[in-house]
């Protein structure tokens, strides 16, 4: 704790605010509460978690864990099952118990009294379950059924969240962002509305499933279309306008690296990483940059199953092997979608363990750390890292990039994502090519006739910043090119 206190004080002295992760859907199975809870059926902490007897010699219901397998684990000592929507080592707390909620609120306020500046609230839409915990429909006769409908964004959730806010967040000048899987755009006022919203922002994940087939994340869908991504992001952009604030992201600890997923990490690594940054960071909302994204860290392709660490991947390997899948059939989806893609150590330099630690890290470093690292990119004025800095400065200097309305252009174009940000007379035009070939586009007439100043570009930017008499109707973008124009 003295180290944390020093971190907080020195961060604040530098004008940096510290946001902590808040996990209140579950605890570790090694937490003192759970140790007590599982010690006997009549322990005072028994009802802090969700315990049920088995049914017909099986689990209490047919719910599947988010990581695969049953959402229930048998405790041999007491003969009952506890619920774990995530890992077997993460038993779910029983939010129906008012004592649980009170203890959580006391813990939250302890941290806020210490002076932290807010929370990213983990898995918060899962805390309310269907009270009777019924079996879910199982038309496909699966052993376990994906259980989203049983515990995600259920009726009564907002009652809990309003109480949470009133007892904690509302008493402090802080920022909150909820990991809100399953929240619909129609619920914007309740979740992020300025007057009554329970959080300042939420992470919604609709765009994070665009490359997944009907079988889920391990069922790859390489033929996703750019127009689909535009539709999803634009719907949240326009739907939140005047009602709430978007949380903008392409990466986090649960999803693959964006340059490997939406760009080209082989032939156009730097260009596509810069383009993706341009595309999402100039939309309306708060951009989040995940560690390593700012240097273009890529997905990792380990050769051995034993090199992976993520519990979700481990479950996939076990269940896939039991179903008769080959090693390549197990690894290929992991190369594309596995969470360990985002969990290899941060690549600081070309030294041992990429400069992350002198000790052996929990997982191997991505072998490309020699070429992709912070130290190297700090020395290169045209690196991805230097481009992120320029992009952040641009966003901070142009009010239209923060407060301007959003308008999608060329919605059907499958090569170029184009949009306008408008604030009064100020207009920014953002053009981003998702294509490996030259992409010729025709801009709408009212945009084409505007005089323009190229503020930023990722292709020979120093040579391309000019002021034109008019932008012109036809433009040709290089592969993965990004341009940001100020229209005057």
What predicted TM-score, i.e. pTM, was given to this entire model?
0.95
Distance, in Å, from the CA atom of 253 to the CA atom of 208, rounded to the nearest integer, reads 12
Of 83, 106, 122, the one marking the end of a domain is 83
Residue with tokens 């009294």: 113
Residues shown for the chain: 488
226 with 335, same domain: the answer is yes
Distance, in Å, from the CA atom of 282 to the CA atom of 485, rounded to the nearest integer, reads 12
Residue 386 inside a domain? The answer is no
Residue 388 inside a domain? The answer is no
Does residue 219 register a pLDDT over 90?
A: yes
Residue 383 inside a domain? The answer is no
- For 363, other C-beta atoms within 10 Å of its C-beta total 16
Active-site residue 149, yes or no?
A: no
What average pLDDT does this structure show over 232-241?
95
157 with 263, same domain: the answer is yes
Q: 476 has which bridge partners?
A: 440
Residue with tokens 């229209």: 487
What average pLDDT does this structure show over 180-192?
92
Query: How does pLDDT run across 410-469, given as a tens digit for each residue?
Result: 999 999 999 999 999 999 999 999 999 999 999 999 999 999 999 999 996 544 445 555
**192, 198, 204: which is closest to 249 by C-alpha?**
204
Does residue 359 register a pLDDT over 50?
A: yes
| CATH code of residue 114 | 3.20.20.80
Residue 234 inside a domain? The answer is yes
21 with 41, same domain: the answer is no
357 with 446, same domain: the answer is no
202 with 299, same domain: the answer is yes
Residue 9 inside a domain? The answer is yes
203 with 154, same domain: the answer is yes
Higher pLDDT, 157 or 68: 157
Distance, in Å, from the CA atom of 262 to the CA atom of 434, rounded to the nearest integer, reads 8
> What DSSP letter does each residue of 279-339 carry, written as one string?
HHHTSSSEE---TTGGGT------SSGGG---HHHHHHHHHHHHTT--HHHHHHHHHHH-G
Q: 482 has which bridge partners?
A: 432
340 with 458, same domain: the answer is no
104 with 141, same domain: the answer is yes
- Choosing from 47, 80, 103, 122, the catalytic residue is 122
The pair phi, psi for residue 427, each rounded to 5°, is: -135, 135
| CATH code of residue 426 | 2.60.40.1180
Distance, in Å, from the CA atom of 456 to the CA atom of 158, rounded to the nearest integer, reads 43
- Choosing from 59, 64, 179, 413, the catalytic residue is 179
| CATH code of residue 47 | 3.90.400.10
Could you tell me if 257 and 342 are in contact, meaning their C-beta atoms sit under 8 angstroms apart? yes
212 with 272, same domain: the answer is yes
3-state helix, strand, coil in the chain (%, to 5): 35, 20, 45
252 with 280, same domain: the answer is yes
Residue 398 inside a domain? The answer is no
Residue 141 inside a domain? The answer is yes
Active-site residue 122, yes or no?
A: yes
pLDDT for 149 equals: 85
412 with 369, same domain: the answer is no
Number of domains, the chain: 3
Residue 89 inside a domain? The answer is no
Rg (CA), the chain: 24
The boundaries of the domain holding residue 71 are: 32-83
148 with 210, same domain: the answer is yes
């Amino acid at each position: 704790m003295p180290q944390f206190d020093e971190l907080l004080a020195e961060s604040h002295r530098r004008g940096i605010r510290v946001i902590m992760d808040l996990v209140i859907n579950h605890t570790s199975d090694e937490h003192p509460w759970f140790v007590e809870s599982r010690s006997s059926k009549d322990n005072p902490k028994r009802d802090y978690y969700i315990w049920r007897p088995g049914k017909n010699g099986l689990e209490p219901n047919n719910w599947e864990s988010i990581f695969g397998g049953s959402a229930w684990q048998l405790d041999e000592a007491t003969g009952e099952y506890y619920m774990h929507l995530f890992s077997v080592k993460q038993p779910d707390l029983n939010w129906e118990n008012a004592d649980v909620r009170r203890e959580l609120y006391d813990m939250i306020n302890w941290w806020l009294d210490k002076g932290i500046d807010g929370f990213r609230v983990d898995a918060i839409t899962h805390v309310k379950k269907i009270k009777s915990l019924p079996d879910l429909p199982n038309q496909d006769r699966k052993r376990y059924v994906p259980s989203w409908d049983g515990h995600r964004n259920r009726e009564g959730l907002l009652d809990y969240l309003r109480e949470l806010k009133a007892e904690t967040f509302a008493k402090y000048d802080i920022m909150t962002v909820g990991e809100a899987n399953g929240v619909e755009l129609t619920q914007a006022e309740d979740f992020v509305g300025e007057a009554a919203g329970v959080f300042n922002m939420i992470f919604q994940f609709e765009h994070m499933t665009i490359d997944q087939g009907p079988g889920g994340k391990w069922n790859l869908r390489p033929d996703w279309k750019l127009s689909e991504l535009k539709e999803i992001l634009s719907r949240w952009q326009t739907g939140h306008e005047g009602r709430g604030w978007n949380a903008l992201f392409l990466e986090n600890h649960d999803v693959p690296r964006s340059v490997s997923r939406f760009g080209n990490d082989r032939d156009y690594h730097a260009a596509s990483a810069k383009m993706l940054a341009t595309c999402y960071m100039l939309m309306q909302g708060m951009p989040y940059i995940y560690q390593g994204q700012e240097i273009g860290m890529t997905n990792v392709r380990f050769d051995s199953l034993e090199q992976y660490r993520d519990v979700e991947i481990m479950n996939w390997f076990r269940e896939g092997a039991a179903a008769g899948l080959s090693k390549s059939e197990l690894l290929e989806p992991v190369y594309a979608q596995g969470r360990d893609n985002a969990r290899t150590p941060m690549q600081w330099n070309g030294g041992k363990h990429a400069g992350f630690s002198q000790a052996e890290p929990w997982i191997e470093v991505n072998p490309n750390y020699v070429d992709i690292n912070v130290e190297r990119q700090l020395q290169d004025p045209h690196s991805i890292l230097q481009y992120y800095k320029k992009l952040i400065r641009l966003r901070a200097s142009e009010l239209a990039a923060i407060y301007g309305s959003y308008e999608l252009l060329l919605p059907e174009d499958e090569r170029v994502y184009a949009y306008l940000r408008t604030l009064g007379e100020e207009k920014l035009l953002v053009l981003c090519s998702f294509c490996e070939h030259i992409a010729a586009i025709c801009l709408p007439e009212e945009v084409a006739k505007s005089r323009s100043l190229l503020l930023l570009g990722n292709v020979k930017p120093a040579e391309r910043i000019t002021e034109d008499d008019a932008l012109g109707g036809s433009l040709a973008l290089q592969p993965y090119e990004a341009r940001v124009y100020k229209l005057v």
